[in-house]
Amino acid sequence: MTIAICAVICGANGWVGIETYGCAKYEWLKTFLELPNGIPSHDTFARVFRPGVCS
Protein backbone atom coordinates (compact mmCIF):
# COMPACT_ATOMS: atom_id res chain seq x y z
CA MET A 1 0.00 0.00 0.00
CA THR A 2 2.86 2.38 0.80
CA ILE A 3 4.31 1.95 -2.67
CA ALA A 4 0.94 2.65 -4.29
CA ILE A 5 0.33 5.79 -2.22
CA CYS A 6 3.79 7.19 -2.95
CA ALA A 7 3.43 6.35 -6.64
CA VAL A 8 0.05 8.06 -6.99
CA ILE A 9 1.29 11.15 -5.15
CA CYS A 10 4.16 11.27 -7.65
CA GLY A 11 1.80 11.01 -10.62
CA ALA A 12 1.60 7.28 -11.38
CA ASN A 13 -1.44 6.40 -13.40
CA GLY A 14 -2.70 2.83 -13.16
CA TRP A 15 -1.22 -0.42 -11.90
CA VAL A 16 1.58 -0.53 -14.46
CA GLY A 17 2.56 3.01 -13.48
CA ILE A 18 2.66 2.02 -9.82
CA GLU A 19 4.86 -0.99 -10.62
CA THR A 20 7.14 1.18 -12.76
CA TYR A 21 7.46 3.71 -9.94
CA GLY A 22 8.28 0.93 -7.48
CA CYS A 23 11.00 -0.45 -9.71
CA ALA A 24 12.49 3.00 -10.28
CA LYS A 25 12.50 3.80 -6.54
CA TYR A 26 13.39 0.31 -5.29
CA GLU A 27 16.66 1.29 -3.60
CA TRP A 28 14.93 4.09 -1.67
CA LEU A 29 11.83 2.03 -0.81
CA LYS A 30 13.85 -0.83 0.63
CA THR A 31 15.41 1.54 3.17
CA PHE A 32 12.12 1.52 5.09
CA LEU A 33 10.09 -1.38 3.66
CA GLU A 34 10.82 -5.08 3.81
CA LEU A 35 10.78 -6.23 0.19
CA PRO A 36 12.13 -9.81 0.25
CA ASN A 37 10.49 -10.59 -3.11
CA GLY A 38 11.12 -7.21 -4.71
CA ILE A 39 8.45 -4.87 -6.05
CA PRO A 40 5.03 -6.50 -6.56
CA SER A 41 3.82 -6.84 -10.14
CA HIS A 42 1.04 -4.69 -11.56
CA ASP A 43 -1.23 -7.76 -11.35
CA THR A 44 -0.53 -8.05 -7.62
CA PHE A 45 -1.38 -4.38 -7.03
CA ALA A 46 -4.63 -4.83 -8.96
CA ARG A 47 -5.52 -7.95 -6.97
CA VAL A 48 -4.77 -6.33 -3.59
CA PHE A 49 -6.84 -3.24 -4.33
CA ARG A 50 -9.74 -5.11 -5.96
CA PRO A 51 -13.04 -4.41 -4.15
CA GLY A 52 -14.07 -7.15 -1.75
CA VAL A 53 -10.57 -8.47 -1.01
CA CYS A 54 -10.76 -7.40 2.65
CA SER A 55 -14.27 -8.66 3.29
Q: What is the pLDDT of residue 51?
A: 81
Helices 2-9 and 15-24, packing angle to 10 deg: 100
Burial 7-42 (b: 16+ CB within 10 A, else e): beeeebeebebbbbbbeeeeeebeeeeeeeeebbeb
Q: Is residue 6, in this structure, part of any structural domain at all? A: yes
Domains of the chain: total:
1
Residue 18's domain spans which residues? Answer: 1-30
Q: What is the pLDDT of residue 28?
A: 97
Q: Is residue 5, in this structure, part of any structural domain at all? A: yes
- Long-range contacts of 32-38, Cβ-Cβ distance < 8 Å, separation of 24 or more: 33/2, 33/3
Q: What is the pLDDT of residue 53?
A: 57
Q: Is residue 42, in this structure, part of any structural domain at all? A: no
Q: Which tens digit of pLDDT belongs to each residue from 2-55?
A: 999 999 999 999 999 999 999 999 999 999 999 999 999 999 999 998 887 555
